[in-house]
Amino acid sequence: MTSRVEIFEMGPRDGLQNEKRMIATADKIALVDLLSQAGFRRIEVTSFVSPKWVPQMGDATQVMAGIARRAGVSYAALTPNLKGYQAAHQARASEVAIFASASEGFSRANLNASIADSLERFRPVADAARADGVPMRGYVSVVTDCPFDGPTAPSDVARVVAALRDMGCYEVSLGDTIGQGRPETIDAMLGAVLNELPADRLAGHYHDTAGRALQNVDASLARGLRVFDAAVGGLGGCPYAPGAAGNVATEALARHLAAQGFDHGLDMAVIDRAAAFARTLREETHA
């Protein structure tokens, strides 16, 4: 029997948010609508953050209003605080996500708060999501390496995963944010995290900066993970890690999984069209 693996599409949010040139709202909607035809169960569409901090996501409400929603697809939004959650809920986000760091240095740079303080900020979001019946996902950044603090201790990742679990996250995505993870460091990290949350509630989120994302996926598959975040066309990066590549490309991950006998359920013809379109957005940005 073929084992099923799910790819959670990140391109419209995690992919586009680091692009310097403002991408037209219509192009963001067109990308989501194309991805909706590919067979994804979950697509992260946008982020309800302050436009002052992430100008690219300033049209979140318009994008959510403009997409053609397809039955069976969950349209997710990142929500860093209660105000963001309320806007996302009003915009009919199917689910929301909160994000914490496994290192103090990255937490202060990315969230302007300690890990403990950032988690406290998310409690009102968690309470509101629970009251509204909105599923909430969690992210942990820099799970193996931090650009400020160096290697991340697996126990530090496990502590943050436990906090997000206790806050009500149905799944926690583990981010190799700067793409410096190696199969052995991913495996060691998972060895600690699996003591807090089972593999069927974890996802791998691996950037391809060092060209090891697919190897890290393989290490995670061996540990039982069956959900992986990816960005069509390899969009993305990290503002705190100059030169960091984007998420592992959806099309590369899908073919890699299929070659190993895993079923991802995606229409590769649609994925390839979406990847080509995504690359035009990046090419225009970096022209």
**CA-to-CA distance for 177 and 81, rounded, in angstroms?**
21
Could you tell me which of 98, 78, 74 has the C-alpha nearest to residue 87? 78
Could you tell me which of 167, 53, 175, 168 has the C-alpha nearest to residue 120? 167
Q: Residue 41 has what pLDDT?
A: 98
Q: pLDDT tens digits for the chain (287 residues)? A: 469 999 999 999 988 988 888 999 999 999 999 999 999 999 999 999 988 888 999 999 999 999 999 999 999 999 999 999 999 999 999 999 999 999 999 999 988 899 999 999 999 999 999 999 999 999 999 999 999 999 999 999 999 999 999 999 999 999 999 999 999 999 999 999 999 999 999 999 999 988 999 999 999 999 999 999 999 998 876 655 555 567 899 999 999 999 999 999 999 999 999 999 998 987 655 44
**CA-to-CA distance for 181 and 154, rounded, in angstroms?**
12
Could you tell me which of 165, 181, 178 has the C-alpha nearest to residue 239? 178
Q: Domain for residue 1, yes or no?
A: no
Q: Which helix (H) or strand (E) holds 99?
A: strand 95-101
Q: What global pTM score does this model have?
A: 0.96
Three-class SS state of 186: helix
Q: Domain for residue 53, yes or no?
A: yes
Q: Residue 1 has what pLDDT?
A: 45
Task: Specify whether the CB–CB gap between 35 and 11 falls below 8 A.
Answer: yes
**CA-to-CA distance for 184 and 188, rounded, in angstroms?**
6
The active-site residue out of 167, 238, 241, 278 is 238
Could you tell me which of 211, 228, 239, 242 has the C-alpha nearest to residue 17? 239
Which token pair is 247? 């998420």
Q: Domain for residue 79, yes or no?
A: yes
According to DSSP, the β-strands at 150-151 and 145-146 are: antiparallel
Q: Domain for residue 268, yes or no?
A: yes
Tally Cβ neighbours within 10 Å of residue 274. Answer: 27
Q: How many domains does the chain have?
A: 1
Kindly list the distances between the CA atom of residue 160 and the CA atoms of 148, 230, 277, in Å, as whole numbers in the listed order: 18, 22, 36
- Residue 169 falls in the annotated catalytic set: no
CATH number (domain holding residue 99): 3.20.20.70
Q: Domain for residue 210, yes or no?
A: yes
Three-class SS state of 133: coil
Q: Domain for residue 279, yes or no?
A: yes
Domain holding 235, by residue range, is: 6-286
Q: Residue 238 has what pLDDT?
A: 62
Q: Residue 2 has what pLDDT?
A: 61
